């Protein structure tokens, strides 16, 4: 396992930023979308960020249009949506691909470190996707709002299903443990 701190990303405003800037912080990395049934998670993610940022948590949002075309806008539209609808203050980044040949190096590193995702025992989310004809592939992001937890050393320590909200005891417990 290697640190993700060596990876560069592009902010939603088009600036290059090194993930090394987050060294020492616990990161919750989330692929997001503005037109998804899970989009209301933005509110919970922002609440989590406000509650725990002083303890060292950073929520990092990476918009992605690979799932049902649910993030069709450009960065300016995404930024406006997140700000106006949810008051998002946590860092947002440029749209990326999280699966396939054009997968961003960040997501390659996340999956190399932790391909297995944790799901809530009573989730049923994967079955819902299958009912819509969507096959979940190992080693790939399942859907919008999948989450990775990274410790202050840049090591991936958790991978959580899209429908697992920040208030789920499994995810909140993992975050609290990482911040301790």
Known catalytic residue at 36: yes
Q: What is the distance between the alpha carbons of residues 157 and 129, in angstroms, rounded to a whole number?
A: 26
Marked catalytic residue, from 36, 113, 156, 174: 36
HSE at residue 14, side-chain half, CA atoms within 13 A, is: 3
Residue 171 backbone phi and psi in degrees, to 5: -70, -45
Q: What is the distance between the alpha carbons of residues 26 and 17, in angstroms, rounded to a whole number?
A: 17
* CA distances to 86, 164, 169, 170 from 118, in Å: 26, 9, 12, 9
What are the catalytic residues?
36
């Amino acid at each position: 396992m290697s640190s993700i701190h060596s990876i560069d990303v592009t902010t939603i405003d088009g600036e290059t930023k090194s993930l090394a800037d987050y060294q020492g912080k616990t990161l919750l990395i989330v692929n997001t979308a503005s037109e998804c049934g899970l989009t209301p998670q933005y509110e919970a993610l922002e609440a989590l960020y406000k509650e725990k940022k002083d303890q060292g948590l950073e929520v990092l949002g990476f918009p992605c249009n690979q799932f049902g075309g649910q993030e069709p806008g450009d960065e300016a539209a995404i930024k406006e949506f997140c700000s106006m609808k949810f008051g998002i203050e946590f860092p947002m980044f440029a749209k990326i691909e999280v699966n396939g040949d054009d997968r961003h190096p960040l997501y390659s590193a996340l999956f190399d470190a932790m391909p297995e995702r944790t799901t809530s025992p009573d989730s049923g989310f994967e079955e819902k996707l299958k009912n819509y004809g969507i096959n979940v592939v190992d080693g790939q992001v399942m859907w919008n709002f999948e989450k990775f937890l990274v410790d202050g050393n840049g090591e991936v320590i958790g991978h959580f299903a899209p429908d697992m909200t920040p208030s789920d005891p499994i995810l909140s417990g993992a975050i609290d443990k990482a911040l301790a």
